[in-house]
A and B are shown apart, each in its own frame.
Chain A
């Protein structure tokens, strides 16, 4: 097995998976991993609350990228969970001694190398462990620019954090080699799946309908401290927690370009350019919201709701055209 090479990525799970697949011999960019797993999404989840504020997700549920890529590329990913933290740490050490590259789900709050202001109780962070030196683990955290180290006790605490999306010590590793796939076939299916989720999920809080539902909620906000926290939370989920909404749109655009190049299916290039513009509009929404939170502009929940409704329209148009392009793709 060649030595492990760290790569900076914008999202933890796609970063971990692309690194892992590359390490096992198949070249794969973060964007490709993200796109092939149809990881792009919008979901407004008012029943899942962190510190009293609703969860807004811009990508599929944790472990979705790992599971889907594993299925499509067939490299025998094993998942293990532990009831006892000591047992989880022992098993991690054992796998590392065998020379395995091990993925972990952790909380970000208990990872000491994270910037203090970004340490919240978010339990679905992913990272890779590629070695150990005494009581320190050698970690490739895709959202960090270079590799980091973490002490045994800290990593154990981060792996066994409790609460929503508790990782329960989850670790995963490949047992086989990923096969080189039929990119056109996988790509077409991945596009169809993404469009389907965004346009036709029969739940009012997922996809384009989810954006509308959020717009409706934002439009009802009064002008008070809670409203500012609520809107700030949407933007924070969008921009700060795992790349966020606009970031995921740019990442997916990169995937469309790469897929077009690899398969020669040109219509995807136009769609990529269109999605970059949608991403820019998400950023405009974030900027407008931040200015209101800071008091540079008057707080105007209706204006923000209007921006969100326009975004719902943009995304409906984009995913509709993506779906059409995918159907017209003969492969």
Chain B
């Protein structure tokens, strides 16, 4: 990549930041150049973000219909999946899956609520809400 070909496409996912890339300058030396981003990066990053947003939306719709608990919504909002939430909380997956049932979630002990809240970066009160 030549220095003048370094993309400066104003990648939205960088939120105004510049990233350092290496490119060939006119004297043939490879040097560090600050880049405003490449559309390709934006496409794949947005794709990954949108996939998680889609999962969160889908879970939210099911939570509002009483088919799942707010826990599943917050899990996807924190960009986690079941495997990661299990590792973060130290709870078995089947237990977490059980807590996705609204009736079970409603009876969750304060200690468990706190554990989920810590893992997801929420307050225990916010854990029970979806907006």
Task: From B16, B32, B48, give the contact of A120 (CB < 8 A).
Answer: B48
- Name the distance in Å between A307's Cβ and chain B's nearest Cβ: 14
Known A121-B80, A250-B21; judge A232-B44 contact (CB<8 A).
Answer: yes
CB distance A30 to B40 under 8 Å? Answer: no
Residues from chain B with a CB closer than 8 A to the CB of A9 are 20, 32
Contact assessment for B79 and A118 in the assembled complex, using a CB-CB cutoff below 8 Å? no
Q: Which residue of the partner chain, among A121, A144, A279, A287, contacts B17 with CB atoms under 8 Å? A: A144
Cα A107 to Cα B65 in complex, Å, equals 34
As a 0/1 sequence over residues 75 to 110 of chain B, the CB contacts with chain A under 8 angstroms (1 = contact) are: 000111101100110100000000000000000000
Chain B residues within 8 Å of A49, by CB? 83
Residues of B within 8 A of A253 (CB): 22, 30
Mark out the residues of chain A between 242 and 261 whose CB falls within 8 Å of any chain B CB in the assembled complex.
243, 246-247, 250-251, 253-254, 257
Given contacts A10-B20, A233-B48, A254-B22, contact A30 B32 (CB under 8 A): yes
Cβ-defined contact, B30 with A247, below 8 A: no
B interface: dominant SS: mixed
Partner of B18, one of A121, A145, A290: A145
What is the interface size of chain A, counting residues whose CB is below 8 A from a CB of the partner? 54
> Nearest A residue to B89 by beta-carbon distance?
A162
For B22, list chain A residues within 8 Å (CB): 10, 31, 247, 250-251, 253-254
User: Is residue A60 contacting chain B, with contact meaning CB distance below 8 A?
Assistant: no
Q: Which residue of chain A has the shortest Cβ distance to B29 in the bound complex? A: A257
Specify which of B1, B45, B119 is in contact with A117 (CB 8 Å cutoff): B45
Contact in complex: A232, B30 (CB < 8 Å): no
Least CB distance from B79 to A in Å reads 6
User: In the complex, A291 Cα to B88 Cα: how many Å?
Assistant: 36
Docked CA distance A235–B42 (Å): 11
CB of A293 within 8 A of CB of B44, answer yes
Q: Is A80 an interface residue (CB 8 A)?
A: no
B57 at the interface (CB under 8 A from A): no
* Residue from A229, A240, A272, A273 with most neighbouring chain B CB atoms (10 Å): A240
Judged by a CB distance under 8 angstroms, whether B19 is at the interface is yes
Q: CB-CB < 8 A to B16: which residues of A? A: 115
**Given A115-B17, A228-B47, A240-B41, A51 and B1 touching (CB < 8 A)?**
no
Q: Interface readout for B18-49 with A: 1 if CB under 8 Å, 0 if not?
A: 11111110001111101000111101111111
Among A52, A163, A236, the residue within 8 A (CB) of B88 is A163
Produce 1/0 per residue, A44-76, CB < 8 A to B: 000001011000000000000000000000000
Any chain B CB within 8 A of the CB of A134?
A: no
Report yes or no: B34 in contact with A8, Cβ–Cβ below 8 A: yes
Q: What's the Cα separation between A56 and B64 when bound, in Å?
A: 37
Indicate if A239 sits at the interface (CB-CB under 8 A). Answer: yes
Which among B23, B40, B48, B83 has the greatest number of chain A C-beta atoms within 10 A?
A: B40
Which B residues touch A251, using CB under 8 A? 22
The answer to whether A121 and B24 touch across the interface, beta carbons within 8 angstroms, is no
A30-B32, A115-B14, A254-B31 known; A143-B43 Cβ under 8 A:
no
| List of B residues within 8 angstroms of A139 by Cβ | none
The distance in angstroms between the C-alpha atoms of A129 and B84, with both chains bound, is 28
Q: Is the beta-carbon distance between A239 and B1 smaller than 8 angstroms?
A: no
Known pairs A236-B47, A283-B40; list 8 more (Cβ under 8 Å).
A10-B32, A117-B12, A121-B84, A161-B88, A163-B87, A164-B84, A239-B41, A240-B13
A-B contact pairs, 11 of them (CB 8 A): A8-B34, A51-B52, A117-B46, A145-B17, A157-B121, A235-B44, A236-B41, A253-B30, A273-B28, A290-B40, A293-B44
Q: Which 8 A-B pairs have the closest CB atoms?
A: A115-B15, A254-B30, A250-B22, A117-B13, A290-B40, A10-B20, A236-B44, A163-B87
Chain A residues proximal to chain B, CB less than 8 Å:
8-10, 30-31, 49, 51-52, 109-110, 115-121, 143-145, 157, 161-164, 166, 228-229, 232-233, 235-236, 239-240, 243, 246-247, 250-251, 253-254, 257, 272-273, 276, 279-280, 283, 286-287, 289-290, 293-294
